[in-house]
Amino acid sequence: MRYIHWMKKAIVLEMFLLAVAFTVLYGRYRNEKLVPLTDVIETTSDGEEFIKWVDFKVSYEALCAAYEWDVATYGQKIHIEWIPLLAYTAARNGGEFDKAALNDLQKAGERIASGETSIDELTVDLKYYSYYLEAYEAVLGGFVGEYQIEAEQENGELIWEEKYGLKAFLPIAKGFPYQDYDDFGASRSYGYDRQHLGHDMMGQVGTPIVAVESGYVEALGWNQYGGWRIGIRSFDKKRYYYYAHLRQNFPYCKTLEEGSVVTAGDVIGYMGHTGYSIEENVNNIDTVHLHFGMQLIFDESQKESNNEIWIDCYALTKFLYKNRSLAQKDTETKEWYRVYQMKDPMTEKYRKQSSASGNSVL
């Protein structure tokens, strides 16, 4: 009997040790399963390094959780910034954001908030942390910060309020219905076989399209694939927003032109189904929708080349639903305009820098 009792204890101990070993090895696997850094970093002839590949898999739940930590601790002694928290989570979990990763994120937030540790201490031995930090800064760098926005009082008067939080907007104006699903990477055949490198949001012709982030218009006009389209570059030049298949005959706001500065939430154009034609102003797309895309640019050589980096925006647009810009129509001009104006410090900074350098700002 003693022998059997001893054997049971030995089996239990062995199973426990195996479980511990599996946990350690699996954690190491999750942390190291990303492709080698040499495969995601490009080196120029001058020795400059830049990221050449990003697989953005941050989930909606992770975006919300990290954002809540950021806003909740803003102005406190310990401010937990959401992008480093997300980069830490990615570095620990090989870029994946499953339940285990979300648990890591929450535990890290709790430990940092309590003063037990810091993001620097948590990431000191994480090999890929700096890569994820730079990559996620490129994706999310203009989404959260300080801003001012008009707020309506009970008497109807508009006053300016100081805010901190989400200052990027969903590309569909508030009150306008749309449908979407994760279609990034789906096949396309017009012109040539290729992947769908954007996010389609199906709605009605004429739905106001708004600028997700403040920036300047870098491209405006016809593209045989995207039809009438607008390309807006973020002020830090890391993000290029692509809004395509805009309305036939009336695709953009009339005052918009290349070089125009826009503030996040401004109405910039109208949904349609133009494109798939070398002839301008043609409706060759079957379904009315906005094609919304985000390209990351770490080096100008990546712009309009075979080395473009487009990311899956499904989780981002789901997250941006938290912030929709309300628009109203001018019955005379038939244009739509945002109801509540916003002041973005990044816009003012860009205008001042452009004026100081002698460049005209529209």
38 pLDDT band, cuts 50/70/90, is low
**Same structural domain, 207 and 349:** yes
**Residue 357: phi, psi to the nearest 5?**
-90, 0
On whether both 249 and 308 belong to a single domain, the answer is: yes
Domain that holds residue 225: 161-356
CATH number at residue 351: 2.70.70.10
pLDDT of residue 195: 85
74 by Cβ neighbours in 10 Å (0-12 / 13-18 / 19+) ranks as middle
Task: Say whether both 254 and 132 belong to one domain.
Answer: no
Q: Are residues 131 and 177 in the same domain?
A: no
Do residues 266 and 339 both lie within one domain? Answer: yes
Which of 95, 31, 29, 84 minimizes the C-alpha distance to 58?
95
Tell whether the model's pLDDT for residue 17 goes beyond 80. no
Task: Assess whether pLDDT exceeds 50 at residue 9.
Answer: yes
Instruction: pLDDT band for 39, please (50, 70, 90 cuts).
Output: confident
Residue 32 in any domain: the answer is no
Phi/psi at 22 (nearest 5 deg)? -60, -45
Q: Are residues 55 and 13 in the same domain?
A: no
Q: Which helix (H) or strand (E) holds 87?
A: helix 82-92
Residues 190 and 314 placed together within one structural domain of the fold: yes
pLDDT tens digit sequence for 211-250: 999 999 999 999 999 999 999 999 999 999 999 999 999 9
> Looking at 117-238, which runs of residues are DSSP E strands?
144-152, 158-166, 179-180, 187-188, 194-195, 199-202, 208-210, 215-223, 227-234
C-alpha distances in angstroms, 261 versus 128, 160, 214, 252? 36, 21, 8, 14
Q: Is residue 156 a part of any domain in this protein?
A: no
Say if residue 117 is in the same domain as residue 166.
Answer: no
pLDDT grade, residue 23 (50/70/90)? very low
Q: Mean pLDDT, to the nearest integer, of 26-36?
A: 49
Q: For residue range 326-335, what is the model confidence (pLDDT) as tens digits?
A: 999 999 999 9
**pTM of the entire predicted model:** 0.88
- Say yes or no: 135 and 280 in one domain: no
Query: Is residue 229 domain-shared with residue 181, that is, in the same domain?
Result: yes
* DSSP state for residue 74 in the 8-state scheme: T
**Side-chain half-sphere exposure of 86, counting CA atoms within 13 A:** 28
**How long, in residues, is the chain?**
362
Task: Examine the pLDDT at 7 and tell me if it is beyond 50.
Answer: yes
Q: Is the pLDDT of residue 29 over 50?
A: no
**88-144: pLDDT as tens digits:** 999 999 999 999 999 999 999 999 999 999 999 999 999 999 999 999 999 999 999
Alpha-carbon 152 to chain mean position: 29
Is residue 154 assigned to a domain?
no
Does the pLDDT value for residue 309 go beyond 70? yes
Please give the backbone phi and psi of residue 148, each rounded to the nearest 5 degrees, phi first: -120, 145
Q: Domain tally for the chain? A: 3
Residues 287 and 252 in one domain: yes
Residues 217 and 80 in one domain: no
